Amino acid sequence: MAKQFDVVVIGAGPGGYIAAIRAAQLGMSVACIDAWSNAKGGPAPGGTCTNVGCIPSKALLQSSEYYEHAGHHFADHGIEVKGLGLDLAKLLARKDTVVKQNNDGILFLFKKNKVTFFHGTGSFSGQVDGGWSVKVSGPSEEELVAKHVIVATGSSPRALPNLPFDEKQVLSNDGALSIGSVPKRLGVIGAGVIGLELGSVWRRLGAEVTILEAMPNFLPAADEQIAKEALKVLTKQGLKINLGVKIGEVKTGKTVTVSYTDAAGAEQSLVVDKLIVSIGRLPNTQGLNAEGVGLKLDERGFIVVDDECRTGLPNVWAIGDVVRGPMLAHKAEEEGVAVAERIAGQHGHVNFDTIPSVIYTSPEISWVGKTEQALKNEGRAYKAGTFPFLANGRARALGDTTGMVKVLADAKTDEILGVHIIGPQASELISECVVAMEFRAASEDIARICHAHPSLSEAVKEAALAVDKRALNF
């Protein structure tokens, strides 16, 4: 006999597991199905983010940054390090432990919130009395019936045509997080978020990293001034970033040879020991029986939803990477909460204009709202204020003065339209700006709020003051 639930969530990534918990908090009976298995074949909820994305990449970024500091920066503080060594196996094992802690944490949260978890693949069987029938297959085998279904099946790495990932030489994010020995020469195709973050990890650990990017502009989604600064700093650190290339044939053997045409039109080839391909991700919809039940996909394979994450099927919702919008864990989570609240008859809401973006390189890069080039293209009158970390006392004390904060505000109303940061702790500093924009604050609001001294957040305040040309420390 089929097990009956108010809500079945397919996928336990940040979108799915958060939706399941929120729905349970609101008094619904909830099941969550997830197919991800750990190395021992057991359940590993948390999706891409926990298993091969946000969490393990940040663990490696942290370890590799400590290594780089010990090797290159401690001396500036008068700290001598002798006999510095790298135990890569331990560094990777620590990352795996962090992942497992997160997997276990989600299983604990499911128990605490009375969410029933099924380890297996979920697929639509069809519409039945009382809602939707969803089949779970392997390791668990179940037939579930739910009034509402939330599809949160996420995304997978996109491969280059004719170059499947073997995860030994040609690596997706998965293999790139587990390279067993530091490659002498590492190639990266795609200078997007993954290419820059994982390229930075392996460069810090000793690899010679070359990145090949198709677009002529670096980080086109970021503010141009910030992207320019980022390119300068990352290049100085040793990342070789080639823009405007066209990838040709890729040959694998003892080494990997990538033929490409450079920006000037000259034929080039790059020989590396390993190649990371990070050229974007594709939505996961196979196995859902989407076609069988008429769940509509767009031309790029994303599930078609409206602004509130409703699909064309009654009481079937879709969230996160499998639908339009930025592929970010916090966007998936916000959609999950909003959908659970809508199912409960509340007015769940996601403000797509204030979703922050962060690139966890060193320095970190973060932003929220509009870029200066977008405002120019719109013909919107704006004022800009920038403040360099070089003039911030805390940054000088840290010994990390690269970068700046840039605040963009409406020329007439002074409402903050965008904030762009490159510098230490940019991932944390952006939150204040998101809150300000969510409350439709003016730049003067940030400028008049007391910020602790000495703190990096004073650079945000000073950039807000600079909008009115009255920065105090620069």
Q: Per-residue x/- marks for ligand NAI, 92-121, CB under 6 A?
A: ------------------------------
| Sole window of 12-20, 181-189, 386-394, 456-464 interacting with ligand FAD (rule: CB under 6 A) | 12-20
Q: How far apart are CA 447 and CA 40, in angstroms?
A: 53
Question: CB of 101: closest distance to ligand FAD in angstroms?
Answer: 17
CB of 318 within 8 A of CB of 311? Answer: yes
Beta bridge partners of 283: 155
Q: How far apart are CA 310 and CA 299, in angstroms?
A: 18
Q: How far apart are CA 22 and CA 32, in angstroms?
A: 12
Q: Which of 20, 21, 28, 35 binds ligand FAD (CB under 6 A)?
A: 35
Q: How far apart are CA 3 and CA 235, in angstroms?
A: 56
| Sole window of 226-234, 248-256, 279-287, 336-344 interacting with ligand NAI (rule: CB under 6 A) | 279-287
The site partner of 284 among ligand FAD, ligand NAI, none (C-beta below 5 to 8 Å per kind) is ligand FAD
The site partner of 47 among ligand FAD, ligand NAI, none (C-beta below 5 to 8 Å per kind) is ligand FAD
298-357 residues near ligand NAI, rule: CB under 6 A: 326-328
| Sole window of 22-30, 77-85, 303-311, 358-366 interacting with ligand NAI (rule: CB under 6 A) | 358-366
CB of 197 within 8 A of CB of 227? Answer: no
Does the annotation count 453 as an active-site position? Answer: yes
DSSP 300-320: TSPBP--TT-B-SSTTEEE-G
| Sole window of 78-86, 113-121, 130-138, 213-221 interacting with ligand NAI (rule: CB under 6 A) | 213-221
387 is a contact residue toward ligand NAI (CB under 6 A): no
Closest listed residue to residue 226, CA positions, set 401, 380, 366: 366
Supply 364's token pair: 């970190």
* SS3 of residue 167 by DSSP: coil
Q: Which of 10, 270, 416, 429 binds ligand FAD (CB under 6 A)?
A: 10
202 is a contact residue toward ligand NAI (CB under 6 A): no
Return the residue matching tokens 């000073």.
462
Q: How far apart are CA 31 and CA 116, in angstroms?
A: 5
How many CA atoms lie within 13 Å of 141's alpha carbon, on the beta-carbon side?
1
Q: Which of 328, 407, 464, 466 binds ligand FAD (CB under 6 A)?
A: 328
> Could you tell me which residues come within 8 angstroms of residue 139 by beta carbon, excluding any fewer than 6 positions away?
37, 41, 119, 120
160-199 residues near ligand FAD, rule: CB under 6 A: 173, 194
Question: CB of 175: closest distance to ligand FAD in angstroms?
Answer: 11
Return the active site residues.
453
Residues that bind ligand FAD (CB under 6 A): 10-16, 33-36, 47-49, 53-54, 57, 121-123, 152-155, 173, 194, 284, 287-288, 320-321, 327-330, 332, 360
